[in-house]
Amino acid sequence: MKRTSVFSGAFALLLSFISIAPFVYVLTLSFLPASGGVTFDYYYDVFLGSPQYLLRFWKSMGICLCIVAGQLVVSILAGYGFAKCDFPGKNGLLFVLMILMVLPLQVTLAPNYIMLDKLGLLDTYSALIFPSVFIPLGTFILTQSFKSVSDDIIDAAKLDGCGLFGLLTKVVLPMNSSGLVCVTLLSFLDGWNMVEQPIAYIKDFVRYPISVALAYVPPTDPTLQLVCCILVVIPPLFLFTYFNRELVEGIVLAEVK
């Protein structure tokens, strides 16, 4: 027993080290320019010298918030429908949703491109926001999460005169905050880290989110790129630090069901 726990601990430590090492490497090298010595010059360049990095950061943040808001609305309504409403073909639709979920992004890239082209949305921020709003993972997680709410509670709320909106906001969502946080986090990270979609749908460099623009940072000194990486890592770091418990609970809940 003791031997197993020591082995597990050592393995966990090794895994943590492997995960943290790249971040520590980036953080350390961001102070060490190619010319030698220790400098804060690149931090000055990114955070104070020029607004282009921070403005792009906020632009990406805006895109992500739109994606999160849209995906929450879609996932909550669809998830509630799948979990608590009976309609013909429900199981078939859920099955299709699960298949869509496991499809690689590259498969849907071309159809999405054609649709966005027909809608005249190519080379706009909407081209990044709309396809991401309808990613099925959120609906799947919330469907599983809403299934944990007892039907008796919902019936009781309905008897008390609660409408659909009241039912969602006062009963179902407060009982499933972990699932909600999980969807928020995953959709935010999905939007924050998107690379293929902007490259496929956007031509104008000005509209590229920071995840893509990072690759085009002037390669005169890689240290500048590393400082940009530090900037990019701030929002996910905050979300994980603040919501780590809810995230784990949400994922566990979805899996248990």
Partner 1 sequence: MKKKALMIFVLLFWMLVACTLLSVKVEEQMIPQVTTVTASRGYSFDSDPEVPLSCLFFDSNGMHLYSTYEGTGWEAGIRVKEESPSSYEVGEESVILTNSWSGTFIEFASKPLKPGELVSEKRGGEQIEDHWLAVFSQEKPEFSELPEGVGLEEENDGAVLLSIAKAQQPYMDGRAKSLVPEFFNAQVYSFAEMRKFLDALPQVGLAAAMILAAVTIWACCCFMVKNVKKHWVGLLTGAVLGLLLLVGLHFVLGSVDLPSSLLPREKITDIGYFYQEYTEFFNALKSFAPPASESGLLAPNLPKTPAAKEMISYKNTLIMRPFLLMALGIVLPLVLRFVEWAILYKRSLPKIK
- Contact footprint for partner 1 (CB under 8 A): 41, 44, 47-52, 54-55, 57-58, 205-206, 213, 216-218, 234, 238, 241-242
d(CA 246, CA 146): 15
Note every long-range contact of 31-35, with CB atoms under 8 Å and residues 24 or more positions apart, other chains counting: 32/223, 33/221, 33/223, 34/221, 34/222, 34/223, 35/221
Helix (H) or strand (E) segment spanning residue 71: helix 52-84
With b meaning 16 or more CB within 10 Å and e meaning fewer, what string describes 137-167? Answer: bbbbbbbbbbbebeeeebeebeeeebeeeeb
- Tell me the closest approach of the beta carbon of residue 237 to partner 1, in angstroms: 8
Residue nearer to partner 1 on the CB measure, 9 or 49: 49
Please give the radius of gyration of the chain, using alpha carbons only, rounded to the nearest integer. Answer: 22
Residue nearer to partner 1 on the CB measure, 65 or 99: 65
Residue nearer to partner 1 on the CB measure, 99 or 234: 234
- Tell me the closest approach of the beta carbon of residue 47 to partner 1, in angstroms: 5
- Tell me the closest approach of the beta carbon of residue 236 to partner 1, in angstroms: 11
Residue nearer to partner 1 on the CB measure, 57 or 201: 57
- Tell me the closest approach of the beta carbon of residue 42 to partner 1, in angstroms: 12
Which residues have CB under 8 Å from 81's CB, separation 6+? 87
Q: Quick check: 26 and 229 in contact, CB under 8 A?
A: yes
Residue nearer to partner 1 on the CB measure, 57 or 140: 57
Residue nearer to partner 1 on the CB measure, 50 or 169: 50
- Tell me the closest approach of the beta carbon of residue 232 to partner 1, in angstroms: 12
d(CA 202, CA 197): 8
Tokens of 252: 């566990």
Which residues have CB under 8 Å from 214's CB, separation 6+? 225, 228, 229, 232
Residue nearer to partner 1 on the CB measure, 64 or 149: 64
- Tell me the closest approach of the beta carbon of residue 231 to partner 1, in angstroms: 8
d(CA 94, CA 103): 14
